[in-house]
Amino acid sequence: MSKVKLFLGRAGYCMAKSSHAVKGEPSKDIRFPALFALMYHPQVGYVLFDTGYTKRFYTATRNWPNKLYAVITKVKIEDHETVVEQLAKMGLTPDDIKVIVLSHFHADHMGGLLDFPHASIYCSQQAFDHTMQLPRITAFSKGVLKSLLPKDISCRVRIIEECCTSETDTLFGKVYDLFGDGSIVCYSLPGHAAGQVGVLVQTETKQFFLIADACWDQRAYKQQRLPHPIVRLMFHSWKSYCLTIEKLKQFHQLHPEVIIIPSHCSESINALIPEGAVLHEI
Ligand SMILES: [Zn+2]
C-alpha cells in the first residue's frame, strides 16, 4: 500500500448559525471554514481534495438571483487565503496539481477549480450529472455557481465509478480506490449534496477520513446530534443524510483510530491545524 503526505488548509469561510449546525444549540453566529486538503502521492504527485473559495465567489454572486447565495452565506475570502496562494507559499504552481477530487459541486468546495486549468477532476457520476443538468439561473439554489465551472470540464472530468477499481466495504458498500494502491479511497456519502464523496487517506502514521459535508459538526456522528430540520431545505436528501451519519457513527465505533474530518467543523479542524495557519502537514 502506498502512503501519502497529507496537508490541510482553510480557504476562506462562511457564516452559519450554531443552532442550525446542531439542533438545540443556542443561536449564535459561527464560522464554517472551507477546508481543503493537499496530498502528495509518491507516484502521482500532488492531489487536491476540494478547492475552497476564491474572490470569484463575489463576482459570481454580484447580481440577482445568485446574490441571495452571498446574502445568506456571508462568505469571507482574501486573495492570500486561496488554495493557489497557499500552494505558492510551498513553492507549488497550479500545474503541479495533477488531480483534484471534488467531494461535491457546492461553491465552497469547487470555488477554486478555475485556478487549476490542467488538473483532472475526479467526482462521482451523480455529482457530475446533477450539476450539469441544473439550469444556470437556478443552480445557486442548489449551492452551485455555474460560472465557477471550467468551460472544458466535460473533457477533464474523470468519473470515479468508471476510472477506479472498486471493492466492497461492509458499511458503505462499493468504495473506489483512486490509484489502485489503497492510499486514497473514495466513499459515497450521499444526502447533503447529490453524489457527495469523501476520501479515506492513508498516511505514514494514520488514516484520515475527509467526509466533506456528510456532517457539519462532529457531534452528529459522535452523539447523534443532527442539524436543525430547517436545513433540509438545502439538502439533496434528508433520508440519505441520516443514513450516512448512521454509517459514520458505526465506522467511528469500529475504527476509533481513524481521524474523521468534517469540512466545516472548527473543533475537528482546529484540533489538527492551528487557527489562522496556512497549509499544514498533519
Ligand atoms: Zn460545504
Q: How far is the CA of 199 from the centre of ligand 1 (A)?
A: 15
In this structure, is residue 278 part of a structural domain? no
- How far does residue 261's CA lie from ligand 1's centre (Å)? 12
**CATH number (domain holding residue 72):** 3.60.15.10
What distance in angstroms lies between residue 202's CA and the mean position of ligand 1's atoms?
Answer: 23
Residue 282 lies in a domain: no
Asked if residue 117 belongs to a domain, the reply is yes
CA of 1 to the centre of ligand 1 (A): 30
- Whether residue 204 is contained in a domain is answered as yes
Instruction: Supply the range of the domain harboring residue 102.
Output: 5-272
Distance of CA 105 from the midpoint of ligand 1 (Å): 9
Tell me, in angstroms, the distance from the centre of ligand 1 to residue 100's CA.
16
| 132 domain residue, yes or no | yes
Closest CA to 260 of 218, 225, 220: 218
Ligand 1 centroid, distance to 214 Cα (angstroms):
9
pTM of the predicted model as reported, rounded to 2 decimal places = 0.97
3-class DSSP assignment, residue 98: strand
CA of 52 to the centre of ligand 1 (A): 9
Q: Give the number of domains in the chain.
A: 1
In a domain, 168, yes or no: yes
Does residue 279 lie in a domain region?
A: no
For ligand 1, the distance from its centroid to the CA atom of residue 248, given in whole angstroms, is 17
pLDDT tens for each residue of the chain, 282 residues long: 889 999 999 999 998 889 888 899 889 998 999 999 999 999 999 999 999 999 999 999 999 999 999 999 999 999 999 999 999 999 999 999 999 999 999 999 999 999 999 999 999 999 999 999 999 999 999 999 999 999 999 999 999 999 999 999 999 999 999 999 999 999 999 999 999 999 999 999 999 999 999 999 999 999 999 999 888 888 999 999 999 999 999 999 999 999 999 999 999 999 999 887 788 898
Distance 232 CA to ligand 1 centre (A): 14
Write out the three cell numbers for 232: 433540509
Q: How far is the CA of 189 from the centre of ligand 1 (A)?
A: 13
Cβ density class 199-211: b for 16+ within 10 Å, e for less = bbbbbeeeebbbb
Interatomic CA distance for residues 189 and 278, integer angstroms: 27
**How far is residue 230's CA from residue 234's CA, in Å, rounded to a whole number?**
8
Would 280 be classed as within a structural domain?
A: no
